[in-house]
Amino acid sequence: MPFSFLFAFLNLFGQGVVNHTAHFLYQNSLYITLPSAIGLGMLKKIPRWSRILFILLVFSIIIPPFYFQVLHRLETGWEGAVDVEQNAAGEYIRSYTDGNSTFVILPDSRYSLVCVEGIGERKVISGHFNHLNKYETMNFIRNLNEEIKHFYSSSDLQEKHIFLQKYQAYYIFLGPEEITFMKEQKTDIERLKKVDQLVYRSKNVEILKVKLGDQS
């Protein structure tokens, strides 16, 4: 209950790594903040000393395991929160791409979102960045997500680059979910790689730098 408020605060007001860590490792806490607030309101109806005893009981139950979990993750470099490949891709993005770069990823791809926005600290066209930071309408987000899915499913290079120019996206992220989706849609992935520059490759991740001037 109390940690819901803490993580909501970090999500909304934290900066840099603090914000991204809270956002991706504990994003569900943001969505239970309202029930927590309702619970606190109900506690006010309980007599004061009973309320204090109840709160102490809750803290005695949830703090010890939480403390040891955080300590373990800090000691192991957040082992288990992200895999080695995600961390390597995110480090590349943060180290070798411009801070104002925008990436295109498949909507609701948690793997890609952690790499790009979480560890890499770069913007994405859609997803949590739009929903939480720009407060777009759900209809706008729904339409944009369909545009992004169409981008990944289409083999029309000119159409793809019109989309990239429209949203000023200079990098295409190809993680496990994007590659699987493109294969299911029978999209010619290799043709896209011949046009845009492959700047990063690992077992499950590839990053393409967009050449907006070349649409052949």
pLDDT digits (tens, 9 = 90+) for 53-78: 877 887 787 677 766 666 665 565 55
* Axis crossing angle, helix 33-43 with helix 2-13, rounded to the nearest 10: 140
- Residue 215 maps to a domain: no
107 and 68 assigned to the same domain: no
38 and 103 assigned to the same domain: no
Amino acid at 25: L
pLDDT of residue 192: 78
128 and 165 assigned to the same domain: yes
51 and 146 assigned to the same domain: no
- Residue 69 maps to a domain: yes
Which range among 53-57, 79-83, 158-162 shows the weakest confidence by mean pLDDT? 79-83
- Residue 93 maps to a domain: yes
pLDDT of residue 16: 52
The number of residues making up the chain comes to 216
102 and 161 assigned to the same domain: yes
DSSP 8-state code for residue 44? T
pTM for the model: 0.62
Phi-psi region of 108 (alpha: psi -120 to 50; beta: other; left: phi over 0): left
48 and 115 assigned to the same domain: no
Non-local CB neighbours of 81 within 8 Å, separated by 6+ positions:
25, 73
- Residue 216 maps to a domain: no
DSSP three-state, residue 12: helix
Residue 24 has pLDDT above 70, yes or no: no
- Residue 116 maps to a domain: yes
Residue 213 has pLDDT above 90, yes or no: no
Non-local CB neighbours of 43 within 8 Å, separated by 6+ positions:
51, 54, 55
64 and 137 assigned to the same domain: no
Structural domain count, the chain? 2
71 and 91 assigned to the same domain: no
73 against 152, higher pLDDT: 152
DSSP 8-state code for residue 129? I
DSSP 8-state code for residue 121? -
Q: How far apart are CA 39 and CA 118, in angstroms?
A: 31
Q: How far apart are CA 57 and CA 53, in angstroms?
A: 6
Please give the residue range of the domain that contains residue 164.
84-209
CA distances 108 to 45, 68, 130, 145, Å, are 40, 30, 12, 9
Q: How far apart are CA 119 and CA 97, in angstroms?
A: 13
- Residue 214 maps to a domain: no
Query: Which residue among 75, 110, 139 closes a domain?
Result: 75
Q: How far apart are CA 164 and CA 148, in angstroms?
A: 10
119 against 32, higher pLDDT: 119
Query: What does the block give as tokens for 44?
Result: 């006010």
Residue 150 has pLDDT above 90, yes or no: yes
- Residue 191 maps to a domain: yes
pLDDT digits (tens, 9 = 90+) for 86-134: 989 999 999 999 998 999 999 878 889 889 988 898 988 875 444 444 5
What band does 215 get if pLDDT is binned at 50, 70 and 90? very low
